Chains A and B, each alone.
Chain A
Amino acid sequence: MTKHETDFRNGVATPEVSRRAFIITAAAAGGGMVLGISSATEAQATNTTGYPGVQTKAPEFTNHISITPDNKVIVRATKMEIGNGVLTSIAMIATEELGCDWSTVSAEYVLPSRNLAENNVYSKTGVLAYFAGRSTGKEMMDQMLQAGASARERLKAAAAQKWNVPAGEIKAEKSMLIHEASGKKATYGEMAEAAAAVKLDKEPAPKPHSQWTFLTKTSQKRLNLPLILDGSAKYGIDIQVPGMVYATVRHVPSHGGRLKSYNFEAIKAMPGVRAVVVIDPDEKRAGLPGNAVAPMGFSATTNGPQAAVAVIADHYWQAKVALDLLPIEWDPGEGKQWTNTAKVYETIAAAAKDAGKGNIIRQIGDVDAALKDGKKVEAEFMTPYNDHFLMEPLNGTALVTADKVEVWVPTQHPQQAMYVTADETGVPPEKVTVYPTYVGMGCGRRIYGDDVRTVVAIAKKVQGTPVKVIWTREEMTRQGRYRDLAAASFTATLGPDGMPKAVDINQAATRSSGRNLSDTPYATNIPNFRVRTKVFNTNLMTGPFRGPMYTSNLFFLETFINQLAETAKIDAVEYRRKLLANYPDPGWVKVLDEVAQKANWGQSLPKGTAQGVAIGNWAMANTKEGAPVPNTGSTVAAIVMVEVSRRGQVSIPRVDIAMDLGTVMNQEGVRAQMEGGVIMGLSAGLLEEININNGAVVEGNLDTYRVLRQNDPLLPQEIHVHFGGNTNHERLSEAGEPPMGPPPAAFAHAYFKATGKWLTRQPLTKYMA
């Protein structure tokens, strides 16, 4: 039997079931699970060791801080731990003001359902309140510092009342309240219950940054380190909900296509198989009630439903084996025009060259006139689609009933997950509980909630039964939200001094962004400067890739600057110093000087070995005209050493990286982000490429998609992170995305110096001699 699943009623379709499926449905009805799991079973799933969403009951001082009678501090955070240490940072910020002993501190997630029930008290900072990116943004810092200060003053007030002394005479330090004159002492825990009830006349003001003793002064290891060491940290894929079954899913390989048919009979009798369910993108979704807003929005190309078929079985392995054997026919839809990668590249390169129709996003002077004379330099660049290739495959577990949904998911944005769930199931947001877990890396792949939509779209077809859905690695790679595809053509003329008189940039990309192109501080010293952009798309979906468009634009610009410097025969660091001479943010030159000095830039090296340089800024603010705002974002410079052996073997003996984040809050945490970013940035720029075949992604797993590994000849042998470039500006900017940018351009520069060949297309290794 081959059939479409068309029997949709109220958005809930009947799955094709094997006989076994009736058994679970019946058991569910008899066992009370139709109404959602009981609190006892919920506790089993979420109150286990290693689950960061546990909601410990303890006196609450503020929305963000609880202290238990046995003197443990719990900091409640809206930021999910994706590997960047954000949960630890949040706890550190509160600790600075609370004055507690760091060894007593732990952190828990605040569920988005609690936020909703409490009138969005946790998301006052807007759509990014629940975004697991940075923790040190001003709003988040202010909120957590205030929470710490408020809790501390309540503790003092409670002690003052109990001891009958003025609160001003009490010291709060290392989790102890001390009144020196009377010799009275108590732990925070002993005073917690009384303190939580204190009403202050006025909330205390947090101290100025200059008086910090913990932040910026100490480095702390991630709070969940012990849980990682013994395997007890609970990622989404580890969640066990009593009575759950497993599913694995295949979405239409050509993004945006449709399901034609499938044949359940072929797998129906296979061991453990219970049902096949279909996700129909054309089925009407519920939308959100009233004034509810999904922080990351809904759109067809980010988190809209995609045609898919899932097999549900008793165990994951059974579901996977059966899905591999399930005959499925797809209609590739519009994607079929993209017959191969070469066609895509030709089309985007042509769009980048055809400057005429571009959208002018920055214009200084008269570029056309200035291009007429002087030494001309031209170049064309391209960066392909890349997959995030996060180590934890997409997954989620959901239990849907008629009026309630529970979802366990490794997400970068659980609030978004909650609203996507409401849209997909028609259950109102206040009846949706999302339990976020630890996350096996994020990098922007887990913000839209497309994964959550698939999970609940499957679970809603087997109401009353919890389902854990796990993507195979191949499925995750083929259903990416890839790094944007981008191409650019550059033209410049140099003056007699070798410096650019005019630079003309035409870029085409799958996302509109001039970051690190149109907003470059170099333009403050280039008299004629123009950037035009165009948006070009295939059917493949794209998303943030540890800095949307950052790694593409920066590679283009910095490689071109190196080409100009080499053409002018001026040292590339010196060339940049000159270009930056008029720019009022001192961080850029400071970072360059720091990295150049530490890497011993200019040292004489054996033939075949060379150094290359690049610099950029992630998260820099722009003026209305598109000019850079000084002292914003994170400026990062890298020097990469490349060695090309006589047999042509290429290796990277050393990478140096320096940054200006303003002020560094947790130095060792930043160091780890910098090291990891260098590796991921080089991997993406040197090795990775997603190919397309009739609208579908070719690569699926590590046998075809090369990612930098321990034994890769291109793994940097040493990475040196330098902090001397920080300007001590008051901002505490982020560290995750910034190191992704400069290394590939610095590599290409060094490779040119070693071989005489410019690499202008990524993945760079594909174009090496």
Chain B
Amino acid sequence: MAFELKINGKQVSVDADPQTPLLWVLRDHLQMTGTKYGCGINQCGACTVTIDGQAARSCNIPAAQAVGRTIVTIEGLSPDRTHAVQKAWAELDVPQCGYCQAGQMMAAVGLLARNPNPTDADIDQAMNNLCRCGTYVRIRAAVKRAAELV
């Protein structure tokens, strides 16, 4: 069944079962592979995108629920890696393997949209994504740096 989604400012048509999680529509149907699969059960945050400006875990959202809403993925954050979060992540050299980082950055975007000056506790709550490489200390610093750069 075909339906339309608004992703990174573009209207795209998808031919898929609308109950398919948004994550797999992005990855398999639209070849937008920046958004990652980690756990599939709303825990790790690797699949985080923003929907209407709020961080959302795309593995846990049927594509149908995203119809008519504004979706932003890591690919759409900026045309040239100049979003404040991307700049902060580069400056603090956050990523190691990098696999979790699209989700981390999108979670940070969502956090900063609703809380421009987060405390450590705010960050720890909102950024509950898993990073097996253990980049947490830098993530916290990078979110604060991004808050300054916004």
Enumerate chain A interface residues (CB-CB to B < 8 A).
81-85, 221-222, 224-235, 237-238, 240, 246, 271, 315-318, 388-393, 438-441, 470, 472-473, 668, 672-673, 675-680, 683, 701-703, 707-711, 715-719
Name the CB-closest residue of A to B100.
A391
Q: Is the CB of A229 within 8 A of B86?
A: yes
Residues of chain A within 8 A (CB-CB) of B36 are 235, 237, 391-392, 440
User: How many angstroms between the C-alpha atoms of A470 and B39 in the bound complex?
Assistant: 12
B54 an interface residue at 8 Å Cβ cutoff? no
Q: Is the CB of A675 within 8 A of B99?
A: no
Q: Assuming the A-B contacts A317-B28, A391-B46, are A228 and B98 also in contact, with contact meaning beta carbons closer than 8 angstroms in the complex?
A: yes
Among A240, A441, A473, A708, contact of B31 (Cβ-Cβ < 8 Å): A240
Name the CB-closest residue of B to A82.
B97
Supply 17 A–B pairs (Cβ within 8 Å), ascending by A.
Answer: A83-B96, A84-B96, A225-B95, A226-B90, A231-B73, A231-B75, A232-B75, A316-B27, A388-B132, A389-B132, A391-B44, A440-B97, A440-B99, A441-B133, A672-B138, A701-B39, A719-B137
Q: Is the CB of A680 within 8 A of B134?
A: yes
Name the CB-closest residue of A to B89.
A229
B69 an interface residue at 8 Å Cβ cutoff? no
User: How many angstroms between the C-alpha atoms of A393 and B95 in the bound complex?
Assistant: 18
Among B96, B102, B125, B127, contact of A672 (Cβ-Cβ < 8 Å): B96
Q: Is the CB of A711 within 8 A of B38?
A: no
Among A83, A678, A711, contact of B98 (Cβ-Cβ < 8 Å): A83
Q: How many residues of B contact A (CB 8 A)?
A: 58
Name the CB-closest residue of A to B123.
A710
Q: Assuming the A-B contacts A230-B86, A237-B33, are A701 and B139 also in contact, with contact meaning beta carbons closer than 8 angstroms in the complex?
A: no
B21 to A: closest C-beta gap in Å: 7
B128 an interface residue at 8 Å Cβ cutoff? yes
Name the CB-closest residue of A to B136.
A710
B74 an interface residue at 8 Å Cβ cutoff? yes
Name the CB-closest residue of A to B96.
A83
Q: Assuming the A-B contacts A229-B90, A473-B39, A711-B128, are A317 and B95 also in contact, with contact meaning beta carbons closer than 8 angstroms in the complex?
A: no
B5 an interface residue at 8 Å Cβ cutoff? no
User: How many angstroms between the C-alpha atoms of A81 and B38 in the bound complex?
Assistant: 19
Residues of chain A within 8 A (CB-CB) of B39 are 473, 701-702
Q: Assuming the A-B contacts A703-B41, A707-B132, are A675 and B137 also in contact, with contact meaning beta carbons closer than 8 angstroms in the complex?
A: yes
Q: Is the CB of A391 within 8 A of B97?
A: yes
User: How many angstroms between the C-alpha atoms of A679 and B139 in the bound complex?
Assistant: 13
Among B16, B73, B77, B131, contact of A391 (Cβ-Cβ < 8 Å): B131
Q: Is the CB of A229 within 8 A of B81?
A: yes
User: How many angstroms between the C-alpha atoms of A675 and B134 in the bound complex?
Assistant: 7
Q: Is the CB of B93 within 8 A of A315?
A: no
Q: Is the CB of A271 within 8 A of B17?
A: yes
Q: Is the CB of A232 within 8 A of B16?
A: no
B43 an interface residue at 8 Å Cβ cutoff? yes
A675 to B: closest C-beta gap in Å: 6
Enumerate chain B interface residues (CB-CB to A < 8 A).
16-17, 20-21, 24, 27-29, 31, 33-41, 43-44, 46, 73-75, 77-78, 81, 86, 89-90, 93, 95-102, 105, 120, 123-125, 127-140
B44 to A: closest C-beta gap in Å: 6
User: How many angstroms between the C-alpha atoms of A718 and B46 in the bound complex?
Assistant: 24
Q: Is the CB of A230 within 8 A of B97?
A: no
Among A230, A316, A719, contact of B74 (Cβ-Cβ < 8 Å): A230
Give the dominant DSSP class at B's interface: loop
Name the CB-closest residue of B to A226.
B81
B101 to A: closest C-beta gap in Å: 5
Q: Is the CB of A707 within 8 A of B130?
A: yes
User: How many angstroms between the C-alpha atoms of A715 and B125 in the bound complex?
Assistant: 13
Residues of chain A within 8 A (CB-CB) of B38 are 391-393, 473
- Central interface residue in B16, B38, B77, B102, by most chain A CB within 10 Å: B38
Q: Is the CB of A711 within 8 A of B75?
A: no
Residues of chain A within 8 A (CB-CB) of B78 are 230
B107 to A: closest C-beta gap in Å: 9
Q: Which 9 A-B pairs have the closest CB atoms?
A: A231-B34, A83-B97, A679-B134, A440-B99, A231-B74, A228-B98, A676-B134, A238-B33, A702-B43
Q: Is the CB of A710 within 8 A of B134?
A: no
Q: Is the CB of A317 within 8 A of B129?
A: no
Q: Is the CB of A676 within 8 A of B31?
A: no
Name the CB-closest residue of B to A317.
B24
Residues of chain A within 8 A (CB-CB) of B81 are 226, 229-230
Residues of chain A within 8 A (CB-CB) of B35 are 231
User: How many angstroms between the C-alpha atoms of A232 and B101 in the bound complex?
Assistant: 12
User: How many angstroms between the C-alpha atoms of A392 and B138 in the bound complex?
Assistant: 20
Identify 11 new A-B residue pairs, CB closer than 8 A, beyond the known A81-B97, A389-B132, A701-B39: A237-B33, A237-B36, A240-B33, A315-B24, A393-B38, A440-B36, A702-B41, A710-B124, A710-B131, A715-B124, A716-B137
Name the CB-closest residue of A to B16.
A315
Among B17, B96, B124, contact of A711 (Cβ-Cβ < 8 Å): B124
Residues of chain B within 8 A (CB-CB) of A390 are 132
B126 to A: closest C-beta gap in Å: 9
Q: Is the CB of B134 within 8 A of A677?
A: yes
Q: Assuming the A-B contacts A703-B41, A710-B129, are A679 and B136 also in contact, with contact meaning beta carbons closer than 8 angstroms in the complex?
A: yes
Residues of chain A within 8 A (CB-CB) of B37 are 237, 393, 470
Residues of chain B within 8 A (CB-CB) of A716 are 137
Q: Assuming the A-B contacts A231-B73, A391-B99, are A701 and B132 also in contact, with contact meaning beta carbons closer than 8 angstroms in the complex?
A: no
Name the CB-closest residue of B to A477.
B39
Q: Assuming the A-B contacts A391-B130, A701-B39, are A232 and B34 also in contact, with contact meaning beta carbons closer than 8 angstroms in the complex?
A: yes
